[in-house]
Amino acid sequence: MEKVRVAILGSGNIGTDLMYKLKRSQILVPTVMVGIVPESEGLALARKEGLTTTHEGIHGLLAKGQLFDIVFEATTAKAHREHAPLLREAGKVVVDLTPAAVGPYVVPLVNLNEHLGEPNVNMVSCGGQATIPMVHSLRQVAPLEYAEIVATIASKSAGPGTRQNIDEFTDTTARGLEKIGGAPRGKAIIILNPAEPPILMRNTVFGLVEDCDPEKLRRSIDEMVKRVQQYVAGYRLRAKPLIEDLVDGGHKKKVTLYIEVEGVGDYLPKYAGNLDIMTSAAVKVGEEIAKHLAAGTWEKKRAEAHS
């Protein structure tokens, strides 16, 4: 199949990292990189990689509308709220990496199929992408009562946007655990750790489940880890899953998973697994959308999504 052409809106760290990942895709090809600062490093690197570039923001992008079908938004939530209606009008499908959440939250392997056909989908949060698949793997085996995650990231990998609105992470991730992960109640915690050299992203997932066969849980967990690894290379369990009987909890079990995410190091440093998992998952989402665009089944999906 011919590769589907995509544009990257935002020439910062995320946009630039995304470009290198998209260049490796068998399904997508990046054609346009958009910034707002002419001399930005991201734009210079994009030119070097043969992409068409513009520093005229959204309007520069829309003027090149014939060059792409999908847009990866890697700016800010505020900017995306302004861009979203314009991109929709231009008939472009958007994979949104900002916290704007104009469209539904998607996590590959969990709920993407439900939202193929949406003109705009949102990537939740780094913690959400790292943990919701695992919460889903528990729920596939046993009724889930509660899910809680602790994401610890290197201070250096948390940009000013994340810092100024840390509640956006905790709230969005907690709702993601509930709405996508299927936990009746979810809680998310984020810790910034300033250690030098910087730590890799860590995620601890706690799940309270009804009584079930621990072997089945282990198999489901292992299988999900392998499936995530197919699109996030540095995703792994730091320790064996810990499955304990809850004291005073009747027959309930407490499951603890220790996950580490190491970045590939395309443009972002390897310790920034939290950013790598966002760009990696976004590419995966873009690829699934592209398959439908290329096969001509997008419109059908779109009708289904809105029926």
Partner 1 sequence: MSEKTFIHIVDSTLRDGSHALSHQFVAEQVARIAKGLDDAGVEVIEVSHGDGLGGSTINYGFSKQPEVEWLKAASSVIKKGKLAILLLPGIGTKEDLKMAGDVGAKVARIATHVTEADISEQHIGLAKKMGMKAVGFLMMSHMAPPEKLAEQGKLMESYGADVVYVVDSAGALLPTTVRERIRALRNAVKVDVGFHGHNNLSMAVANSLAAIEEGARWIDGCTCGMGAGSGNTATEVLAAVLDKMGYATSIDLWKIMDVAEDLVKPIMLKPVRIGKASLTMGYAGIYSSFLLHAEKAAQQFGVDSRDILMEIGRRKAVGGQEDMIVEVAMALAEKKKESARA
Binding segment (CB under 8 A) for partner 1, from list 218-226, 235-243, 265-273, 289-297: 235-243
Residue 59, helix vs strand vs coil: helix
Q: Which residue in the block uniquely carries the two structure tokens 């995703």?
A: 235
Determine if 164 is a binding residue for partner 1 (CB under 8 A). yes
The span from the CA of 269 to the CA of 56, in Å, is 28
Please answer whether residues 292 and 116 qualify as being in contact, where contact means their C-beta atoms are separated by less than 8 angstroms. yes
Binding segment (CB under 8 A) for partner 1, from list 202-210, 224-232, 272-280, 284-292: 202-210
The distance of closest approach from Cβ of residue 163 to partner 1 in the complex, given in angstroms and rounded to an integer, is 5
Please answer whether residues 35 and 9 qualify as being in contact, where contact means their C-beta atoms are separated by less than 8 angstroms. no
Residues 38, 194, 213, 303: which binds partner 1 (CB under 8 A)? 194
Q: By C-beta, is 6 or 151 nearer to partner 1? A: 151
The span from the CA of 112 to the CA of 134, in Å, is 15
Determine if 209 is a binding residue for partner 1 (CB under 8 A). no
Contacts of 104 (CB under 8 A, 6+ apart): 114, 115, 118, 121, 122
Q: By C-beta, is 225 or 285 nearer to partner 1? A: 225
- Read off the amino acid at residue 103: G
The distance of closest approach from Cβ of residue 229 to partner 1 in the complex, given in angstroms and rounded to an integer, is 20
* Residues of the chain by 3-state class (helix, strand, coil), percent to 5: 40, 25, 35
The H-or-E segment that residue 306 falls in is none
User: Among this protein's residues, is 126 annotated catalytic?
Assistant: yes
Of 126, 132, 149, 209, the catalytic one is 126
Interacting residues with partner 1 (CB under 8 A): 146, 148, 150, 152, 155, 160, 163-167, 169-171, 187, 189-195, 199, 202, 204, 206, 208, 238-240, 242, 254, 256, 258
